[in-house]
Amino acid sequence: MEKVVRRSIVYDPFPSQEKFHSLESRFKGFSGPVGSGKSAALAQEAIRLAYINPGRLGLVGAPTYPMLRDVTQRALFEVLETNDIPYRFLKQENSMVLHDVGSQVIFRSLDHPERLVGTNLAWFGVDELTYSKEDAWRRLEARLRDPKAQHLCGFAVWTPKGFEWVYKRFISPDERVKGYDAVFAKPGENKHLPPDFYDRLKHSYDERFYKQEVLGEYLNIFSGQVYYAFDRKVHCKPVEFDKRHPIFWAMDFNIDPMASVIGQMINGEIRILEEQILWNSNTLASCEEFEEKALKYQKLLTGDSYGVHPLQITCYGDPAGEQRRSSADKTDWRIVKQWASRNSDRFKVTFKVDSAHPTQKARVAAMNGMLRNHAGEHRMFVHPSCKELIKDLEEVAWKQGASTQIDKDADKKRTHASDALGYLVEKEFGLRVKGGERREYLGL
């Protein structure tokens, strides 16, 4: 039997973290809102189990490889380096060895559960478990069988995401699996956060999302109406063009319909002036249609169709337009950019397009936050003429049985106008929060 090595670590756990570490259950979890110290709890528990099980193999996992690399591993390495714990990272194998005890830790993403096969484990830990598949957890559970382990343990930390499999397995009074336990962190335990951390989130998050992400409540927010914060009586009003501000054009590259919205951002508000819905169309036709609309705004700006000052236009939209070919040799965005170049004497066009898609959850949370945030503010208004967009906001629903997925099959006409607007809203008002122990993008 290996001798247990003891090492002191600088760590002043919050009450919920201390309770989590003291749990002796074979499988245990730490459920907490943003800023509750989940990363620290994960890293500390992984190191603790590596020392309790000297010379044995453990695993640290995360839902995706980017999250594993940028968040989970970083948090773990910071604890090791802060406390001068000697280790060697093997980049090619994506693993590390703790020299004090000879324990090995392998790092794995969980987006392909079928790859989680191999040697027996003494322990494993998973970051943000609610964004992983249940099959991944089951495969890890089956590998927790090292006969030489001093203490077999599988643990995880997560942000609540409704009453899905993690809730049922760890928490549900009726369905909790025997041998499973969980600790609930409370908001406000982390005194290291900036003083205005939670107040700022009230203005970024809609009411339901705030309760889930900040208060750590379990809510079924991914069912029914997607844009539940929309109220036709509040958000529909005849907004008008303000010539002191530029316009935006936000696009969703779909053939039938080819949808886009035109509006302005003024003093932190989004005002949708009109929509552009073309059936069975293409990107070039959309540009030509938009040109007529843009000339109308330029005339309001300068008093004639061309004027001496070009109309300022900012383009947003679907990142897939950089790859999808609308014609034989041109992508959607290339067509738009060539159109803008040809009209540079009339329009000054800038492009704000991400290189990758934001998640549907990120777009929806940003949209609902603009419609009505937790502070009760309404910051997005739609002209009543935008009938397809209004129908989207009222009718688009979550897919049944598929958490965080919008139902795009119920009505093929739906989702395109709201998707176009969502790219802009997420880009400009997405849930990116600085501060706390995890300085990452929150719109997973």
Can you tell me the distance from the alpha carbon of 157 to that of 136, in angstroms, rounded to the nearest whole number?
A: 15
> For the segment 166-186, what is each residue's pLDDT rounded down to a tens digit?
999 999 888 899 999 999 998
Q: What is the pLDDT of residue 442?
A: 39
Sheet holding 180-184, edge to edge: 87-90, 95-98, 103-109, 57-62, 123-126, 153-158, 27-31, 180-184
Residue pLDDT, tens place only, 121-136: 999 999 999 989 999 9
Enumerate the β-bridge partners of residue 272: 263, 382
Assign 308 a pLDDT band (cuts: 50, 70, 90): low
pLDDT grade for 359, boundaries at 50, 70 and 90: confident
Distance of CA 283 to the CA centre of its chain: 29
CB neighbours of 327 closer than 8 A, spacing ≥ 6?
282, 284, 335
- State the Cα–Cα distance between residues 51 and 57, nearest whole angstrom: 11
Cβ-based neighbour number of residue 338 at 10 Å: 13
Sheet holding 258-266, edge to edge: 347-351, 311-317, 247-252, 258-266, 269-278, 380-382
- Predicted local confidence at residue 441, as pLDDT: 35
Answer whether residue 190 shows pLDDT above 90.
Answer: no
- What are residue 266's phi and psi, to 5 degrees? -135, 120
Contact 64, 52 (CB under 8 A): no
- Tell me: the pLDDT tens digits for 201-231? 777 777 777 877 777 877 666 777 889 899 9
pLDDT grade for 157, boundaries at 50, 70 and 90: very high
CA 402 to chain centre: 16
pLDDT digits (tens, 9 = 90+) for 23-47: 999 999 999 888 888 989 999 999 9
What is the sign of the dihedral through the CA atoms of 334, 339, 343 and 346? negative
Q: State the pLDDT at residue 328.
A: 52
Cα–Cα distance, 78 to 340 (Å, whole number): 47
pLDDT of 327 higher than 60: no
The full length of the chain comes to 444
How many CB atoms sit inside 10 A of residue 77's CB?
A: 15
pLDDT at 4 over 70: no
Dihedral over alpha carbons 253, 320, 269, 390 (to 10 degrees): 40
How far is Cα 217 from Cα 207, in angstroms, rounded to an integer? 12
